[in-house]
């Protein structure tokens, strides 16, 4: 009996130690266990409200809960993914700028971006604004990599959203927006044009390129182009001339030559004529040289130097011939006793 009693006591003691150890482990891992329980609730939720509640509870459970939320951002289930994004956005938004928790969570999100599917990448993009706000330039390089992917995504709304991210001071990717200027979707062209034509810093496109967008099929794109030109202190007369200069119909550009020849509203037609001398249509180039020569004779000015380029180096023989002819005619008509202005 003594031996049996000792065995029972030993077993009991062992069980007690095991139970105590289990209790200690459970106590030490209580938050982890709770996070797992709430994560299961999130997965099994059937309404957006239930999912939002569960996701917000995970955000309160420290690193274990936040880690699971990051994993849910990569979930193939869209409603669960949306709930996780919303909870993380709220959590990060309530933290002080530069908080270590924000830096840690942002790093986890960005590190998993490349291996995620399209839906998860879009979800991560939605969190980039709050990530940049709370972490500054800590993850700037990773954010730029995410933005580069977003600019090439199929969904127009995603590209429009990412266009705004590309303008962020910590991202500075306006140059990568230029290809979007030829996007088939008007909303993408509008966003890209607004970004690259912005007055802040060096503009990425010149006025002449903006003139072309005055002929865009979308009224919004045309307005963005017009407003950008106004911000560059172009007058309405100049904008009207620029619109005609960039008209896709060569006949309209030829009509512009006539107005530059005879319209006194244009004080100095030479810059416009010089641009028309590089027009893709040979007739326009020849006409530009002729008008420039006639205007210089009429106003008793020195013939612009660029006319020599047209007479000597234009790729079209007919253009060279026409320009040379009118230059010779002008030389005959010029009174050698009249000194040009400025001489």
53 with 148, same domain? Answer: yes
Tens digit of pLDDT for each residue in 219-248? Answer: 999 999 999 999 999 999 999 999 999 999
Read off the pLDDT of each residue in 152-179 and give the average, rounded to a whole number.
Answer: 94
Q: Give the C-alpha separation, 268 to 272, whole Å.
A: 8
3 in a domain, yes or no?
no
C-alpha to C-alpha distance for 251 and 11, rounded to whole angstroms: 103
CB 67 within 8 A of CB 109: no
**Do both 92 and 199 map to the same domain?**
no
Is residue 42 domain-shared with residue 132, that is, in the same domain? yes
Same domain, 219 and 123: no
Same domain assignment for residues 154 and 43: yes
Of 143-147, 297-301, 319-323, 328-332, the range with the lowest mean pLDDT is 328-332
For the chain, how many structural domains are there in total?
3
251 assigned to some structural domain:
no
Instruction: Round the CA-based radius of gyration of the chain to a whole number and report it.
Output: 35
| Domain co-membership, 211 together with 157 | no
Tell which of 111, 141, 172 closes a domain. 172
> What percent of the chain is helix, strand and coil (3-state, nearest 5)?
70, 0, 30
DSSP string of 111-161, one letter each residue: HTSTTS-HHHHHHHHHHHHHHHHHHTTTTHHHHHHHHHHHTT-S-HHHHHH
Residue 284 has pLDDT above 70, yes or no: yes
- Regarding whether 41 and 164 lie in a shared domain, the answer is yes
Find the CATH number of the domain harbouring 144: 1.25.10
Band of residue 27 on the pLDDT scale cut at 50, 70, 90: very low
Whole-structure pTM over 0.85, yes or no? Answer: no
**Domain assignment of residue 276, given as a range:** 259-343
| pLDDT computed for residue 20 by the predictor | 45
More confident residue, 304 or 337: 304
Phi, psi of 5 (to 5 degrees): -65, -40
Residue 93 maps to a domain: yes
Residue 266 sits at φ, ψ, to 5 deg, of -95, 105
**CA–CA dist 316, 286 (Å, integer):** 9
């Amino acid at each position: 009996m003594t031996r049996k009693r000792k065995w029972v006591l030993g077993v009991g003691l062992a069980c007690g130690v095991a139970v105590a150890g289990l209790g200690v482990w459970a106590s030490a891992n209580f938050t982890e266990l709770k996070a797992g329980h709430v994560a299961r609730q999130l997965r099994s939720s059937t309404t957006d409200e239930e999912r939002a509640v569960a996701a917000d509870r995970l955000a309160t459970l420290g690193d274990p809960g936040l880690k699971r939320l990051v994993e849910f951002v990569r979930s193939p289930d869209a409603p669960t993914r949306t709930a996780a994004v919303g909870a993380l956005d709220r959590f990060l938004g309530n933290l002080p700028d530069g908080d270590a928790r924000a830096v840690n969570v942002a790093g986890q999100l960005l590190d998993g971006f490349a291996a995620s599917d399209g839906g998860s990448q879009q979800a991560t993009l939605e969190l980039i604004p709050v990530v940049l706000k709370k972490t500054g330039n800590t993850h700037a390089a990773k954010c730029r990599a995410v933005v580069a992917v977003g600019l090439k995504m199929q969904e127009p709304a995603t590209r429009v959203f990412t266009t705004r991210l590309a303008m962020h001071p910590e991202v500075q990717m306006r140059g990568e927006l230029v290809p979007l200027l030829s996007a088939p979707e008007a909303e993408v062209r509008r966003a890209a044009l607004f970004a690259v034509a912005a007055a802040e810093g060096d503009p990425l496109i010149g006025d002449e390129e903006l003139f072309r967008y005055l002929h865009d099929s979308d009224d919004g794109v045309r307005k963005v182009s017009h407003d950008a030109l106004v911000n560059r202190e172009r007058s309405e007369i100049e904008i009207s001339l620029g619109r005609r200069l960039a008209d896709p119909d060569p006949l309209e550009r030829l009509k512009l030559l006539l107005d530059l020849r005879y319209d006194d509203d244009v004080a100095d037609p030479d810059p416009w004529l010089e641009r028309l001398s590089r027009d893709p249509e040979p007739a326009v180039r020849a006409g530009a040289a002729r008008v420039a020569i006639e205007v210089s004779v009429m106003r008793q000015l020195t013939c612009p130097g660029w006319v020599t380029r047209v007479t000597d180096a234009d790729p079209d023989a007919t253009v060279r011939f026409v320009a040379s002819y009118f230059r010779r005619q002008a030389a005959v008509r010029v009174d050698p006793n009249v000194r040009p202005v400025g001489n």
